[in-house]
């Protein structure tokens, strides 16, 4: 007799979590050792890279699915290290834009290249055909956004729809 579908789904959920946690742990260690960096720093820089322009702190927080306070902590450290600059908005002094410095962009581009290579190593056992199948399944499983219009500020830009080839679209815990 086969297991109930609910039990099989639960086992799949646990397997997905395990694979994600193992890969994330590996990437955290890789960034720490190879680049003296963290996954949250990488995520902020990846969001800036995908945008191709300065983003407000709120836009960064929205894209990374973290609080403004968490984003501020990471941006503070990136700014201190000369990777990003903050520029106050001309029209609204409550708004601050964050952009790469030239050094920050170069640093991120190297990190992104190395990150992609590491992810490729981690998933080397997955064939191109399997990737297509898995991607299709995960897309079907991805819930639709549920953010009510009343809680989304009119000035908030939705997350980039560009492929996130170098980063995840979920937030990492903030450890600077």
How many angstroms separate the most distant Cα atoms in the chain?
68
Compute the residue count for the chain.
Answer: 176
What is residue 147's predicted lDDT score, i.e. its pLDDT?
59
The distance from CA 77 to its chain's CA centroid, rounded to whole angstroms, is: 17
Q: Quick one: which of 10, 2, 54, 30 has its CA closest to 112?
A: 30
Answer whether residue 160 is part of any domain.
no
**Global pTM?**
0.76
What is residue 133's predicted lDDT score, i.e. its pLDDT?
97
Strand partners, 24: none
Q: pLDDT tens digit string along 86-135?
A: 999 999 989 999 999 999 999 999 999 999 999 999 999 999 999 999 99
* Total count of domains within the chain: 1
Per run of 10 residues, the mean pLDDT along the chain (length 176 residues) is 90 96 97 96 97 96 93 97 96 95 98 97 96 95 68 39 37 43
Answer whether residue 17 is part of any domain.
no
Answer whether residue 23 is part of any domain.
no
Answer whether residue 146 is part of any domain.
no
Answer whether residue 63 is part of any domain.
yes
Answer whether residue 20 is part of any domain.
no
- Residue-number span of the structural domain to which 66 is assigned: 38-137
CATH number at residue 88: 1.10.10.10
The pair of three-digit structure tokens given for residue 133, joined into one six-digit string: 């199948």
- SS3 call for 23: helix
- SS3 call for 25: helix
């Amino acid at each position: 007799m086969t297991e109930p579908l609910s039990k099989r789904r639960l086992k799949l959920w646990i397997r997905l979590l395990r694979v994600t946690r193992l890969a994330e742990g590996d990437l955290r260690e890789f960034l720490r050792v190879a680049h003296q960096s963290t996954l949250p720093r990488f995520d902020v820089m990846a969001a800036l890279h995908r945008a191709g322009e300065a983003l407000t702190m709120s836009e960064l927080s929205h894209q990374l699915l973290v609080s403004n306070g968490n984003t501020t902590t990471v941006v503070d450290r990136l700014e201190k290290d000369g990777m990003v600059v903050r520029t106050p908005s001309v029209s609204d002094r409550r708004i601050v834009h964050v952009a790469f410095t030239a050094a920050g962009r170069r640093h991120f581009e190297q990190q992104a290249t190395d990150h992609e290579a590491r992810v490729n190593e981690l998933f080397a056992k997955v064939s191109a055909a399997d990737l297509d199948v898995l991607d299709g399944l995960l897309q079907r499983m991805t819930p639709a956004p549920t953010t009510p219009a009343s809680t989304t500020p009119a000035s908030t830009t939705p997350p980039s729809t560009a492929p996130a080839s170098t980063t995840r679209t979920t937030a990492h815990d903030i450890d600077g």
